[in-house]
Structure 1
Amino acid sequence: MDLGLHYYTFTAPEWETTLTDRLTETARIADEGGVSLFSFMDHWFQMLDAGGPFEPMLEGYTSLGYLAGITNRMRLSLLVTGVTYRHPALLAKTVTTLDVLSKGRAMLGIGAAWYDREHAGLGVPFPSTKERFERLEETLQICQQMWSPNNGAFDGAHYSLAETINLPQPVRGSVPVLIGGGGERKTLRLVAQYAQACNLFGAPGDEALATVAHKLEVLRGHCDALGTDYDAIEKTMLYQGDPTEDADTFLADMQRYAELGMTLVGVMPPRYTDPVPWTEKLTSAVVGRLSQI
């Protein structure tokens, strides 16, 4: 099993003067220590349960572009891009640029968006849930078209493009798409139809394990109905727990998730913790052993 590091908070001791240096050193340690995927959230305001809007928050794709220049191995993604934040064609161009400059390490993590306060605060339209999912599907279709030889028009219910020219193309021809969330009727259907990876929420305990197992069965059902390959979809999760507190227990938990088909687990430095020594401990105590699962 691979390890991802989800850098969801920039709040650490003396962040006002250490934010950039801490991020840089954390990314270096993770990249050299075998972390497979480095991700940020896609928010303008910090989430309420992580301190709220008056905590620091960097824009996601600018931050990933910075990491592309200082790392060499890790895949880079937002977990996940809010579909309401950027026009789909510009998003495809942005992610393509990240992929080219990182030499093929970009992923497009994407979802329907949910944080209404930051939309209202910065004056960005926040449509209904139904419309956001419609826009998500059209965005996936536009990205597919821009990462293909078809550079013609796209005419959807919400977006109309006269030309879908996108040069240069991504290093691998397209960018792998990860759709975040476990919504059984819409989100997992979109995974089955359009994505190369899903992202679910995991946690210690039997209840969380059973929930993930159920979500994967729902995904399998959508794949069967659509005629797509369930086994070809990368199964990832974001884990609600600190693996450095008890690596043995964490690894035993990951063995059970691996048996469900999970191949990557993302973990998060605790809030108000210096992420540099935490990441050093993570890579030394967890990465090698996790790769054996």
Structure 2
Amino acid sequence: MPKFTWDGGRAEIGKTFGRIARDADQAGLSSLWVMDHFFQIFGAPEGEMLEAYTALGYAAALTERITLGTLVTGVTYRHPGLLIKTVTTLDVLSGGRACLGIGAAWNEEEHRGLGVPYPPTAERFERLEETLQIAHRMWDGDESPFEGKYYRLERPLNHPPAVNRPKILIGGGGEKKTLRLLARYGDAGNLFDGPDPAVIPHKLAVLRGHCEAVGRDYAQIHKTVLSNLFLTRDGAAEGSQTPEQAVERLARLGELGVDEVIVNSRVVSRPGVFDLFAEVADGLAGVVPAGR
């Protein structure tokens, strides 16, 4: 859910968001994601944008099965020790359903707007690597001091520990840095479903090479793709697809080696839309190879 501008205005945002979360959970979708931004990035920055982890905590109280995560947290937004504590708290309160989605950050406008330091690109990636190292330490229960170039943690205590160790999803397809960090530290990666069908196989091949370089089993990494999905029963609305058409399109991503498709829908707040999503999920279960 990248946008929170729905019918009813601000007074209804909480109710609508809660209903969407419950409907997604009850429809059997595997995961629920919100953007982690301070300003809206689709349209005017003044558009409605909720703080991500507060929103996910609210969703945790209203759902039972669905995994909860950000797509993705900018590494510069929160001190890494506090970020890991935050995600751990979400995991504990949700009964083990939290995922840490993280990336190097890019939106300079919102950083400057709220007074958050915005380092150069190279430094952001260095901070990302240190944050990933800290996440592994804290979720391993290692309380020994951490001395990095940018962060110093005297005692990275993290109690209560996570119910289920949260998976780390690293967003982006940068071939020299992002995919290298994914191979070394990540449990999952996220790519974009763009117009060129050759991009995803290429990115996955680059990831495989990075895995080989560090001795990591490529099959251990959960490959996700972010796509758009506008479902209607008859597919008559411009840009829409029927559930059957969506199954055919998304199954092709599975054939490319994608394990999970995360979708954004412009009609996500429309009552009944998750009945169609459930049909797509059921249809994919019949065509995607076991284990995907």
Q: Same fold (TM over 0.5)?
A: yes
SS at structure 2 position matched to 1:38 = strand
Is there any run of 5+ residues in structure 1 with no aligned partner, and where?
A: 1-6
Q: What is the number of equivalent residue pairs in this alignment?
A: 279
2:237 corresponds to: none
2:280 corresponds to: 286
Per-residue deviation, residues 119-159 of structure 1 (Å, max 9, x unmatched): 01111100000000000000000111111132110000000
Q: For residues 240 and 112 of structure 1, what CA distance do their matches in structure 2 show?
A: 23
Match status 1:195 vs 2:186: yes
Q: For residues 202 and 97 of structure 2, what CA distance do their matches in structure 1 show?
A: 30
Structure 2 counterpart of 1:192, one-letter code? A
Counterparts of 1:125-204 in structure 2 under 5 Å?
125-172=117-164, 174-203=165-194
Q: Which structure's relative contact order is higher, taking Cα pairs within 8 Å and 6+ residues apart?
A: 1
Q: For residues 118 and 58 of structure 2, what CA distance do their matches in structure 1 show?
A: 29
Is there any run of 5+ residues in structure 2 with no aligned partner, and where?
A: 233-239
Match status 1:236 vs 2:224: yes
Structure 1 counterpart of 2:264, one-letter code? M
- Select which of 221, 225, 236 maps to 2:213: 225
Q: For residues 264 and 30 of structure 1, what CA distance do their matches in structure 2 show?
A: 15
Q: For residues 214 and 139 of structure 1, what CA distance do their matches in structure 2 show?
A: 27
Moved over 4 A (4+): none
Structure 1 counterpart of 2:207, one-letter code? L
Q: For residues 133 and 14 of structure 1, what CA distance do their matches in structure 2 show?
A: 40
The Cα RMSD (Å) is 1.4
Match status 1:269 vs 2:265: yes
Structure 1 counterpart of 2:261, one-letter code? V
1:103 corresponds to: 95
1:80 corresponds to: 72
- Select which of 36, 60, 66 maps to 2:58: 66
Q: CA deviation at 1:240?
A: 3.2
Does the CA contact (< 8 Å) of 1:200 and 1:236 recur in 2? Answer: yes
SS at structure 2 position matched to 1:277 = coil
Q: CA deviation at 1:290?
A: 2.1
Does the CA contact (< 8 Å) of 1:12 and 1:274 recur in 2? Answer: no
Match status 1:115 vs 2:107: yes
Per-residue deviation, residues 224-250 of structure 1 (Å, max 9, x unmatched): 001001001101010034244213332
Q: CA deviation at 1:274?
A: 6.0
